[in-house]
């Protein structure tokens, strides 16, 4: 496959919600509820970055930094844009932004069965640390 031209990224806004929901669904990712979407598009601690190709949403990545810990998750690349380096470009852009915010260490969340995501993270230099992530839903 052809290599992707250098990508340009922008922060997601309200108008992007439907396209992002479709992209995340195609990648098997959970969609954001109203409060989460607001935090991703207008919050200070998190960002949702998007990349477009030919006028269509090609990829997204969520990054957050609370002043101490930095996280990357919900990286998604549209099926027609896969295999050309966009995932790596999204990771590079997220890392560069987090570095400007003062992050010195980044945690990446990837589903254990997501072999392509795990391979991408390994190719980008991420190593398993051995921690186990636990979660508790606080919604009624």
Sign of CA dihedral 55, 91, 43, 26: positive
Domains observed in the chain: 9-123 (3.40.630.30)
Q: Which secondary structure element, helix H or strand E, spans residue 96, and what is its range?
A: helix 86-100
128: pLDDT strictly greater than 90? no
Give the per-residue pLDDT at 137: 80
Rg from Cα positions in the chain: 15
Give the per-residue pLDDT at 1: 46
Give the per-residue pLDDT at 140: 67
Question: Residues 28-49: what's their mean pLDDT?
Answer: 94
| Of residues 107 and 4, more confidently modeled | 107
pLDDT in tens, 72-94: 999 999 999 999 999 999 999 99
């Amino acid at each position: 496959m052809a290599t992707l031209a250098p990508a340009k990224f922008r922060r997601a806004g309200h108008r992007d919600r439907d396209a992002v929901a479709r992209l995340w669904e195609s990648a098997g990712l959970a969609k954001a509820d109203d409060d989460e979407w607001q935090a991703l598009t207008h919050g200070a601690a998190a960002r949702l970055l998007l990349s477009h190709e030919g006028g269509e949403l090609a990829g997204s990545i969520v990054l957050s930094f609370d002043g101490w810990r930095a996280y990357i998750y919900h990286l998604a690349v549209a099926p027609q844009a896969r295999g050309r380096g966009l995932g790596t470009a999204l990771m590079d852009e997220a890392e560069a932004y987090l570095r400007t915010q003062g992050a010195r260490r980044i945690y990446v969340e990837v589903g254990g069965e997501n072999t392509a995501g795990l391979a991408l993270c390994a190719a980008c230099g991420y190593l398993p640390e051995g921690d186990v992530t636990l979660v508790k839903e606080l919604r009624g």
